[in-house]
Structure 1
Amino acid sequence: MGIFPPCSSSEMFENLLGTVCGKIRDAPKIEEMKIKGTVVLMKKNVMEMTDVGASFLDRVHEIFGKGVSLQLISASHADPANGSRGKLGKEAYLENWVSKFTSLSAKDDATFNITFDWDESMGVPGAFIIRNHHHSQFYLKKFTLEDIPGQGQIQFVCNSWVYPTHRYKYDRVFFAYETYLPCNTPEPLRAYREDELINLRGDGSGMLKEWDRVYDYAFYNDLGSPEKGPEYARPVLGGSKEFPYPRRGRTGRRPNKKDSNLESRLPLLNLNIYVPRDERFSHVKFSDFLSYSLKSLGQVLVPEIGAVFDETINEFDKFQDIHDLYEGGIKLPESDTLKNTREFIPWESFKKLLHSDGDRLLQFPTPDIIKNDRTAWRTDEEFGREMLAGVNPVIIRRLKEFPPASKLDPKVYGNQNSSMTREHIEKNMNGLTVEEAIADNRLFILDYHDVLTPYLRRINTTTTKTYASRTVLLLQDNGTLMPLAIELSREQPDENVHDPICEVFTTSEHGIENSKWQLAKAYAAVNDSGYHQLISHWLNTHAVIEPFVIATNRQLSVLHPIYKLLQPHFRDTMNINALARHTLVNAGGILERTVFPARYAMEMSSVLYKNWNFTEQALPEDLLKRGVAVKDPSHRHGLRLLIEDYPYAVDGLEIWSAIKDWVSDYCSIYYNTDDMIQSDSELQSWWMELREEGHGDLKDEPWWPKMQTNDELVQTCTIIIWVASALHAAVNFGQYPYAGYLPNRPTVSRRFMPEPDTPEHAELESNPDLSFLKTITAQFQTLLGVSLIEILSQHSTEEIYLGQRDTSEWPSDKEKEAFTRFSNKLVKIENEIIERNNDQGLRNRVGPVNVPYTLLYPNTSDYSKKGGLTGRGIPNSISI
């Protein structure tokens, strides 16, 4: 019989329909609404000009309904049918793309309106999917939703290139500008968060294309070109005990045809080296940087430059020849051909490339070191001062024993202990004995002996003729460092004899001894210049930071607070490093052509990386290790500087402290207990990958922080920000001010100290300036090197400095308030630096050359917007 009462079919249908309709009528109504939004983006541009072809195709696509769509994702309501991911709203399209024309300027943004259908059952949007059905990519800056019930405005800070949809195997997802630890992420967004990290890691295979967003690791196996001959072969750096190295970003290029362990290199003029698209320079910055890339084509310029100068090709005959580079230059011919050429060559860009002022070629800006006095750089006081306030103020250390001892194995290298005696130095120590000076912390040393000795024999088989130097200095009562003696050591002619050939030179003011003393300082400066460029600058900032960039993007979501803290300090670093591998540190590149270790430069930096210690990159730890400071709780920063007037250390400690306070304030917003750090899955994966992959060759070192406490997190993040910002600024942006005049910081020595009874010795007696110029960097190397460091010392007009941000949005008021305190503190520090530079009692602040120490100015003023060779300012990141 069944459970229903007997009735006709029509009656049954009417009863059922009435029941359903009643339920629908009685159910709560779903409020449908329209949500308005605005999207800010920059359309594809090429060299600051809109790509007309791409623009036309985009408009055609729009006509056929292939526009740019956005789809909101709920942060509060999950869809069980979609893996419990947030519910998806209906797709909506940017409005008026076809009719909206943007200017030709690459800097101009386009703003588009968009309207979404939404209802209360979807909850609050927390992310969105964007699909670009156009022909070309665009740069998505920001997306704002208005009048969200219960929320008001929701901001999405995107700052990412979005390529056509067919280029991706996944949806491009952007999250609201919020911050969540992994455990606090709204459940509907967790899978999207995890998926995004998986996409950024890639699958570890294949050649990466410009639209790929993959961050992955590789060895430095892209420096050599063995197919050109054995002189262009270079070892793989990284992955071995012999040649350890930080990892670089993977490109996936094909293996080298000559050696499958190496990656093939791109042609020199092809600068389209893979880095994730969002890590690449802006169009404006890339355009400026082209001049650097062209200058690396030194071999093309050799005959042209050589033909311009006098009969002693590739030699400066007198110091005035060098000054002419800044004061006169070379007159460009006014031929009919040249006039006609101007009609089709971008003449202003050409003149900028060739350092032309008006119609004069190769006229360089005058370096600060000779602006006020042409010869003050040669004084002993300035020589010592630059170890404290020059471009490489991070090496000098306190001398704790005399004579200086070597740590090299005597069974391999022989007796490498110093040949200096007390007679060499006590005559200029103002009555002090060596023992008294050591006990009173008065003796300091610039020591390149042990780091260079293992490579001297190989280096000196090239055109270079250099020494391993030790320079001992006395801290005087007026706070300046006075060089006392310089020991120059080189290898024996006989390979089987290990004890070095050593000679000690002491300060002298007259005659041939003064000429030899000036040469000895030049040899020491050559050592300092090469070590600075290879280790202090390249290895200890550029190379060691790149693994942090990669690991942060692979393991920390954009929603993670530590990602938001660190990401501004990684801007442009992967791009500048990729270009450096392409034209600067590669086999036959500009570094090998201009710095004394030549073909052994990168190999030597690999050997020295064995001594790198992450925790010692903290400025206080570095100062303590070098013995230039001692712990003292009664002093500011808990340290007492043994050289009170040490501009780099004094200013640096203020900056370090400000960074650490900011990091501590920021981290305390998200981590209340050490347990929260230990249970943060993304943070722990990030730190493990940094040690085991990014710096994998040093993964077993005991000094790595364990990342178990708040103190470890704060110290780690402070070190990263310090290295990427202030340390890099201190060793980079002073290059042109101090080394743009190469006699002050020669990069190569081409012959040894003249021996008595030789023509070279006679020349040193009769014409010491000519002998000096024939010893240091040659003319073409000078032009190439000065051109390079001029570019590297330039601040971009779009630079973002410490204490500044590229967005005004903040996830919370607490972060904003902490950052405001940080910015205000930097303003105060800058004013204090200015006061110290004006204090005439602090002789190391400006020195005999009258160049104030400004490299650690935070540059929070509008002055920073000018860019150029300012010699001041701390950019947020290693961006050049």
Structure 2
Amino acid sequence: MPMQIRHSPRPCARGPHAPSATGPGAPGWTAKMLRPAGALERRDGPRPMLVPSAARSQLKILHPSTSPSHGATTATRAVAGSNVQTTSAATSARVQGKLLLQSSDSPSSPLRLSLQLVSATVAGRDERGVRGEAAALDAVISSGETEVDVELLWDEALGAPGAVLVTNNSDFPVYLKLLSLSSPAVHFVCNGWVYPVGKHPYRLFFTNDAYVKEKTPPALRKDREDELRLLRGEGAPADAPLQKWDRVYDYALYNDLGNPDLREDLARPVLGGSEEYPYPRRTRTSRPPSKADPASETRASLEEGVYIPCDERTGAVAKAPNLPKLEGHFGSLADVHGLFDTNAKPIAFPVPQVISANRTAWRTDEEFARQTLAGTNPLSIELVTGLPLTSKLDRALYGDQDSKITKEHIEKNLGNMTVAQAIEKDRLYVVDHHDWVMPYLKRINELPGDEEKGEISERKSYATRTLFFLQDDSTLKPLAIELSSPHPEDERLGATSTVYTPPDQLKAGEAASDTFTAWDLAKAHAASNDACKNNYVLHWLRTHATMEPVVIAANRQLSVLHPIHKLLKPHFRNTLDTNSTARHIVIGSGDERQGGAFYRNMHEVNFFTGKYGMEMSSKAYASFNFTELAFPNELIKRGMVRGAPKKPEELELPRNDELNILTAIWKWVTELFFPNEHIKTYRLKC
């Protein structure tokens, strides 16, 4: 019996439904995710394809010479620093295959690789899989993707290959994507850099099979554990700076946001490891400590980039962007519109659709309300369950911070409803950024300091609360905006607040574009609060920062052979790379460019929080609850649905796209891991 989900009158964003699934869970997929090597048919997901349009390289396969003296089936030979057993070429057959690889730069010399298959079923005296005879690849490649034909050597008496050992004898690194062999049909999804032997003595890539530790073929277990030890950095000095070819995943505090050695005002507190500034961990780099603040780490140069394990970096090192010079602030709306001028240099931004036909459309109450759900941050709106709105800030420190919005402010715009009726019928909603902003507002409004003049503009901001009414057509209508400041004499005396409501009808002959009212300014402050909360908490903290330690832990504790690792790996793609770039040029304080020019990181300039944005995200992390972010728990917490998280069949969902996403995920996971169970289906009851 399909579960029924009732429709409730929650605010709707008018937009397309979620796209239909094309991955696991869609028609044509089977429940089984991982199959033996060589069995990557369509029903198990799209096999990584060798690019047919890539230019073929000029290559020469060099096989070891065979001689009558190679009569034994195996011989002991030093490979990768340890004695392992290796088959003789006299008993090996040639295996055809294709290798997809990539180089980030145009190599000046030929690529020279040594490839050696490793048995998954036959172990030598060291209990490791016996190595096949090495085959050398000598190829001329260009930058970008290249597909090459390869020919490896393998003795059928060794059973199925379980890994391939690759040594790079070139003078440049190469990124291996996929090695696909025809007979035996084996696929190695490598997705890893192989640096020259001076940096990487070798790389071991396992087949695309999956095993928990206890089920791993005995011949592969030691290699599996060796790989994890390397990724943990065991045996390497913890204080040695990590290099771009290293593959170590380890934890560190956020102690690299400031740059006190460059300038005193660029110092920033360490986030993480304290009750005052709790924070998730980041990737360890082991750069030396700052001279001005030993608790902080020195900054990497803009040209050098921040360390991440080499396999996490698949593109070029990010550079500080060249933005239009804005002289510290916008002088008028005309300056803002100038950013969308197609003749603007060096950046011409595309014209947003909302102002493509009418440049003042963004100022309407309708658009302001629509952006609450359809804009960059749909996650702050909450159901109002009573008035007045109350604050959770400590009264001993901040006095009375409760809202001053009353029923008299809003009842005139509720039609025939009273405030009590609107609350009872779930028609009142609020976007409340008051408590997050207020503790820092006095310091924010004192920015910039003497050293910062010319780099960031002066700012005067407020803590905001915005109240909305859900209309009969399922759209929102703004009712009131409260702007609050700390008491001018003492923060402990509470907030000084002003409530703004939509103006009455314009005077005869007066166009909306001719006026700019206090209500418009209140909406601008509310939008500014919302943008900062989205940027520092909902986006950076909840998405990027909290996932980084998960990525680190998965790589330290889960072998690439582990089924859960294979499930998670695609979701981790580019996370560490993006986060390191953000710490480098986006969320930090500032750096010195090559040649001595100064560069102030973007967010401290562009957002009203200035240098306090990351501190404020740390305060938000103090009340962080990971399970509350899960769907539908997060919606229930904000009052956007009704029902218990453990009884999804009783939920009332307001939007069909959320329903489609939930159903697709449930169906996908059920088919993959519980193929014999009944798949729960959902239906929106209108």
TM-score higher than 0.5 here?
A: yes
2:233 counterpart of 1:221: no
2:321 counterpart of 1:326: no
2:125 counterpart of 1:42: no
1:294 equivalent among 318, 321, 335: 321
1:655 equivalent among 656, 661, 668: 661
Work out the CA distance in 1 between the residues paired with 2:284 and 2:536. Answer: 22
Work out the CA distance in 2 between the residues paired with 1:279 and 1:447. Answer: 38
Which residue pairs with 1:93 in the alignment? 136
- Deviations 1:368-418 (Å, cap 9, x if unpaired)? 221233222222122112111111001100011101011112111101111
Instruction: Name the CA shift for 1:624/1:411 in 2 (closer, same or farther; >3 Å).
Output: same
The 8 Å contact of residues 35 and 147 in structure 1, kept in 2 or not, is answered as no
The 8 Å contact of residues 549 and 570 in structure 1, kept in 2 or not, is answered as yes
Which residue pairs with 1:145 in the alignment? 181
The 8 Å contact of residues 632 and 640 in structure 1, kept in 2 or not, is answered as no
- Measure how far apart 1:633 and its partner are: 10
Which residue pairs with 2:300 in the alignment? 266
Which residue pairs with 1:619 in the alignment? 631
1:189 equivalent among 192, 214, 220: 220
Work out the CA distance in 2 between the residues paired with 1:398 and 1:556. Answer: 41
2:273 counterpart of 1:239: yes
The 8 Å contact of residues 41 and 138 in structure 1, kept in 2 or not, is answered as no
The amino acid across from 1:101 in the alignment is V
- Measure how far apart 1:90 and its partner are: 2.2
1:73 equivalent among 118, 122, 125: 118
- Measure how far apart 1:489 and its partner are: 0.7
- Measure how far apart 1:613 and its partner are: 1.1
**Structure having the higher Rg:** 1
- Deviations 1:83-115 (Å, cap 9, x if unpaired)? x11222222222xx2xx433x4x3331314223
2:671 counterpart of 1:665: yes
- Measure how far apart 1:51 and its partner are: 2.7
2:497 counterpart of 1:502: yes
Work out the CA distance in 1 between the residues paired with 2:558 and 2:645. Answer: 36
1:124 equivalent among 160, 175, 187: 160
2:368 equivalent among 383, 390, 408: 383
Instruction: Name the CA shift for 1:551/1:660 in 2 (closer, same or farther; >3 Å).
Output: farther
The 8 Å contact of residues 398 and 491 in structure 2, kept in 1 or not, is answered as no
Instruction: Name the CA shift for 1:282/1:637 in 2 (closer, same or farther; >3 Å).
Output: farther
2:221 counterpart of 1:155: no
Work out the CA distance in 2 between the residues paired with 1:626 and 1:118. Answer: 63
Work out the CA distance in 2 between the residues paired with 1:637 and 1:130. Answer: 52
**Residue aligned with 1:127, SS:** strand
The 8 Å contact of residues 507 and 514 in structure 1, kept in 2 or not, is answered as no
The amino acid across from 2:195 in the alignment is Y
Work out the CA distance in 1 between the residues paired with 2:181 and 2:492. Answer: 77
**Residue aligned with 2:636, SS:** helix
1:478 equivalent among 447, 465, 473: 473
Which residue pairs with 1:580 in the alignment? 582
**Residue aligned with 1:526, SS:** helix
1:467 equivalent among 462, 470, 479: 462
The 8 Å contact of residues 271 and 579 in structure 1, kept in 2 or not, is answered as no
**Residue aligned with 1:228, SS:** coil
When normalised by structure 2's length, the TM-score is 0.77
- Measure how far apart 1:127 and its partner are: 1.3
The 8 Å contact of residues 485 and 506 in structure 1, kept in 2 or not, is answered as yes
Work out the CA distance in 1 between the residues paired with 2:667 and 2:211. Answer: 22
Work out the CA distance in 2 between the residues paired with 1:634 and 1:195. Answer: 41
The 8 Å contact of residues 534 and 601 in structure 1, kept in 2 or not, is answered as yes
Report which stretch shifted further, 233-242 or 656-665.
656-665
2:640 counterpart of 1:628: yes
Which residue pairs with 1:177 in the alignment? 208
Which residue pairs with 2:351 in the alignment? 366
**Residue aligned with 1:486, SS:** strand
Which residue pairs with 1:32 in the alignment? 91
Work out the CA distance in 2 between the residues paired with 1:215 and 1:427. Answer: 59
- Measure how far apart 1:666 and its partner are: 2.4
The amino acid across from 1:166 in the alignment is G
Higher relative contact order (Cα pairs below 8 Å, separated by 6+ residues): 2
- Measure how far apart 1:39 and its partner are: 4.4
The 8 Å contact of residues 467 and 489 in structure 1, kept in 2 or not, is answered as yes
Which residue pairs with 1:518 in the alignment? 520
2:605 counterpart of 1:593: yes
1:544 equivalent among 530, 543, 546: 546
- Deviations 1:34-92 (Å, cap 9, x if unpaired)? 0313241435332xxx132xx16x5xxxxxxxx4222222111222x21x112222222
Higher strand share: 2
2:482 counterpart of 1:487: yes
**Residue aligned with 2:182, SS:** strand
**Residue aligned with 2:144, SS:** coil
Aligned runs of 1:341-356 on 2, under 5 Å? 354-355=346-347
Which residue pairs with 1:166 in the alignment? 198
Instruction: Name the CA shift for 1:460/1:127 in 2 (closer, same or farther; >3 Å).
Output: same
The amino acid across from 1:70 in the alignment is L
2:651 counterpart of 1:639: yes
- Deviations 1:655-699 (Å, cap 9, x if unpaired)? 233123323332337xx99xxxxxxxxxxxxxxxxxxxxxxxxxx
The amino acid across from 2:104 in the alignment is N
Which residue pairs with 1:785 in the alignment? none
- Measure how far apart 1:209 and its partner are: 0.8
Which residue pairs with 1:679 in the alignment? none
- Measure how far apart 1:455 and its partner are: 1.0
Which residue pairs with 2:8 in the alignment? none
After superposition, the CA RMSD in angstroms is 3.0
The amino acid across from 1:526 in the alignment is S
The 8 Å contact of residues 104 and 144 in structure 2, kept in 1 or not, is answered as no
For structure 2, list consecutive stretches of 5 or more residues without a partner in the other structure.
1-88, 448-457, 508-514, 591-600
- Deviations 1:150-208 (Å, cap 9, x if unpaired)? xxx11111111111223136x42111111111111111111111111111110344111
Work out the CA distance in 1 between the residues paired with 2:247 and 2:148. Answer: 25
Report which stretch shifted further, 69-78 or 465-474.
69-78
The amino acid across from 2:310 in the alignment is R
Work out the CA distance in 1 between the residues paired with 2:145 and 2:465. Answer: 55
**Residue aligned with 2:481, SS:** strand
- Measure how far apart 1:496 and its partner are: 5.8
Instruction: Name the CA shift for 1:198/1:315 in 2 (closer, same or farther; >3 Å).
Output: closer
**Residue aligned with 1:130, SS:** strand
Work out the CA distance in 1 between the residues paired with 2:473 and 2:154. Answer: 75
